[in-house]
Structure 1
Amino acid sequence: MLMHSALPDGLTYQPDFISEEMAHALVAALDGSPWDETLKRRIQHFGYRYDYRARAVTGDAYLGSLPDWLHDVVARLELAQHFLQPPDQVIANEYDPGQGISAHVDCVPCFGDDIASLSLLSPCEMIFRHPVTGDKRMLMLEPRSLLKMDGPARYEWTHEIPARLADIVDGERRLRGRRISLTFRNVVRTTGEGRD
């Protein structure tokens, strides 16, 4: 697990978090499930649906337990102590070459302190910005790597993926291919709010 001094505080990056075999199995499971095409990029929700318009996890958002094919990844996250409680919400984002996601902080009232994102298929660059200081950091997300955000990285820095066809790595242009990310979170529920 890498905690590089150039990265924002609270951000850890772990290459090769899962095996090639597990990565292939995850992609196959996702492609065997229906993709939601209502956004510019295709998505799938598990556990709870996030309402992008309301920027909230609404009372009727519960979709059921996470599917069995995610259990091995959740177990690895728990074993590595990335979560105090097992994550109960996962979103899969698919990015075609040229697609990205704008700068944001994951919904603070909706999700807990820990955010973990697993990269599959193509590598891409993620940019972190500190809105107060103007500081900017870049990180290449390689296939099968895990990015974990908590503390300042979770709450004080935005993260984004520039919408472009290629990234420059060590002076070389690397074309992007299809990329999928699986983001693991815990939904913050108010007292008395149930799952049914």
Structure 2
Amino acid sequence: MDFGLHFRSKGLPPGAVYVPSFISSEEEAVLVRHLDAGEWNAELKRRVQHFGYRYDYRARAVTPDACLGPLPEWLSAVADQLVSAGVLDDLPDQVIANEYLPGQGISAHVDCIPCFDERIVSLSLLSQCEMVFQQKQSGEKLAVILDPRTALVMTGAARYQWTHEIPARKSDQVDGMKVERARRISLTFRKVVRTI
């Protein structure tokens, strides 16, 4: 993967790439304003918003009636950036926004394999946090601090053979220092390949 950007893969599972400063603080503020002007869904322990397609958490699927329409223009602009930078090959048609308040996280998982194509991109907004990867067969763990405005790309082994999670806690250890979490939003960009 050569995105024509500064990126790093050291300390990450094979197939994962971390792209620092993918968007500016001004672009981040615009995204947060649009999200907060929308309707957050509180059906989970964290608040979420779906765009393009709604993901069914109970069925772990994208159902045929889940289409919500095209991505709004403000998300399409980011999708275009991801493609023009070479981070994604094709325009995504599904985005989920997850809001994490201090103490909230998401359990270890692999994004739905039959639902979405090979490349998943997560864009972090507002606050940093630690993401933990675990190799499904060996149990090996790797962790990365996701800074605001960075993109994390998962493909290949990182996409299919490792789980990823945000541990539910109020602080993280960063360079040996305890760093308190604040409100964080992630935008996950995916391409639907199959509905059931």
Q: Structure 2 length as normaliser, TM-score?
A: 0.95
Once the two structures are TM-superposed, the CA of residue 134 in structure 1 deviates from its matched residue by 1.4
Comparing 1-10 with 29-38, which one deviates more in the overlay? 1-10
The match for 2:166 among 158, 161, 170 is 161
1:175 matched to 2:167? The reply is: no
Whether 2:149 is the aligned partner of 1:134: answer no
Correspondence for 1:63 = 68
Write out aligned runs for 1:10-49 (5 A): 10-49=15-54
Separation of aligned partners in 2, 1:19 and 1:62: 30
- Contact 2:11–2:144 (CA under 8 A) maintained in structure 1: no
Paired residues, number: 191
Give 1:104 deviation, angstroms. 0.3
Q: Deviations over 1:77-121 (max 9, x none)?
A: 001222222000000000000000000000001110010000000
Q: Any stretches of 5+ residues in structure 1 without a counterpart?
A: none
**C-alpha distance in 2, partners of 1:169/1:3?**
17
Q: Does 1:150 align with 2:155?
A: yes
Higher mean alpha-carbon deviation, 90-99 vs 126-135, is at 126-135
In the aligned structure 1, how far is the partner of 2:124 from the partner of 2:147?
7
The answer for the alignment partner of 2:84 in structure 1 is: 79
Is 1:96 matched up with 2:101? yes
Q: Do the aligned partners of 2:120 and 2:154 also contact (CA within 8 Å) in 1?
A: yes
Q: Using the TM superposition, give the Cα deviation of residue 131 of structure 1 relative to its aligned residue in structure 2, in angstroms.
A: 1.6
Identify unmatched segments of 5+ residues in structure 2. Answer: 1-5
> What residue is the counterpart of 2:3 in the other structure?
none
CA–CA distance in 1 between the matches of 2:10 and 2:125?
A: 25
Describe the superposition over 1:114-154 as per-residue Cα deviations: whole angstroms up to 9, x where unpaired: 10000000100000000211111000000000000000000
Aligned to 2:192: 187
Pick from 127, 141, 160 the counterpart of residue 122 of structure 1.
127
Amino acid at match of 1:80: A
Identity rate, percent: 60
Offset of 1:2 from its aligned partner? 2.5
Judge which range, 43-52 or 82-91, deviates more: 82-91
How well do the aligned residues superpose, as a CA RMSD in angstroms? 1.1
Between stretches 133-142 and 2-11, larger displacement belongs to 2-11
